Structure 1
Amino acid sequence: MTNLMTYPTELLLLLFVIITFLQSALDKIMDWKGNLAWLKEHFSKTPFKNMVPMLLGTVLVTEIVAGLLCSIGFYQLLAAGEGSIAFVGAILACLALLMLLLGQRIAKDYDGARTIAIYFVPAIFLVFLLQS
C-alpha cells in the first residue's frame, strides 16, 4: 500500500499505457485482415505501400512487448518500488507511438498524427517520471 501512495502518478500512467497498447495489439490480432486491408489502402500512395504487412507486424510486436513490460513494471513498482522494467516499457511505448506518428505523417493523415501526439504526451511524461 505504501508504494501506491508513493507512486500514484506513475502507476496510473502505467495503467493508461497498458490499456492502450494491449487493447490495440488485441484488436490487431483479432482483426488482422481488416486492419491490413485498411492500412494497405491508407498507405497505397506512399513509399510504405509494399511493406504494410511487415510494418503492421512490427508495430504489433512492439505494442505487445511495451504492454507486457509495463504490466510487469506496474507490479514491480507497486510491490517493491522498482521501476526499471516499467521504464523500459514506457520507452518502448514511446517508440511505438513514434512509429505510428511517422506512418500517419507519411500518409498525410494529419488528424491521425494529432491523435498519436495526444497519446505521446502521457507516455513521455511516464518516461520522465520513471527515469532514475
Structure 2
Amino acid sequence: MFDIVSINMASILVLVLLAVTFIQSGYDKVMDWKGNLEWLKEHFANTSLRNRVPLALLHILVLELISGILCTVGVIQLLVNQNRTYGLYGAIFSCITLIMLLYGQRLAKDYDGARTVVIYFIPAVMAVFWLS
C-alpha cells in the first residue's frame, strides 16, 4: 500500500486539494444559495451576465460538484488499483470549471479574484499532466 501511495503522492495531494475546494464551494452554494445569488448579482451587475446570474450559478454549482466528486473517486481509485481514469476526468473538469470562473472574474473586472482562480488552475493543470 505504501508503494502505491508514494508513487502517486503528488497526484493524490492535488486531487484532494481540488476535491476539498470544489465540494466545499458547492456545499456553500447549496447551503447559502440566496446569499451567494445576492452577492453575485451585485458582482455582475455591470456585465452581460447580469440577467443570467441564477443560471450561471447553477452551472458553476453542477460543475463544481462533478469536479469534486470525480477527484474524490479518483483518489480512491488511485489508492485501490492505481487506475488514473477518474482522477484525470476530475482534473479536466476542475480545469474547465476554473476557466469558467476565471472568465466570470475577468468579465466583472475583478482582477484579484481572477488571480486567485489562476492559483488553483496551476495545480489542476499539473494533475492533468501527471494523470494523463
TM-score over 0.5 (shorter chain) = yes
Which consecutive residues of structure 2, in runs of 5 or more, have no partner in the other structure? none
Runs of 4+ in 1 over 4 A off after TM superposition: none
Shift of 1:5: 1.5
In the other structure, the counterpart of 2:115 is: 114
What RMSD over aligned residues (CA atoms) do the two structures have, in Å?
0.6
Code of the aligned partner of 1:125: M
Q: 1:62 maps to which residue?
A: 63
Long gaps (5+) in structure 1? none
What are the Cα deviations for residues 102-126 of structure 1, in whole angstroms up to 9, with x where unaligned?
A: 0000000000000001110111101
- How do 1:96-115 residues align onto structure 2 when only pairs under 5 Å count? 96-115=97-116
1:88 equivalenced with 2:81 (yes/no): no
Alignment TM-score, normalising by the size of structure 2: 0.98
Measured against aligned partners, the alpha-carbon deviations of 1:63-106 in whole angstroms (never above 9, x if no partner) come to 00111111111101111000011101110001000000000000
SS at 1:105's partner residue? Answer: helix
Percent identical among aligned pairs is 50
**Which residue of structure 2 lines up, in the alignment, with residue 49 of structure 1?**
50
Distance 2:130 2:49 in 1: 35
Q: Does 1:79 align with 2:41?
A: no
Does residue 129 (structure 1) correspond to residue 130 (structure 2)? The answer is yes
| 1:18 Cα offset (Å) | 0.6
- CA apart distance, 1:6: 1.2
- TM-score, normalization by structure 1: 0.98
CA distance in 2, matches of 1:103, 1:14: 24
Aligned residue number for residue 32 of structure 2? 31
Question: What letter is aligned with 1:42?
Answer: H
SS of the counterpart of 1:45? coil
Q: Tell me by how many angstroms 1:58 deviates.
A: 0.2
How far has the Cα of 1:3 moved from its partner?
A: 1.1
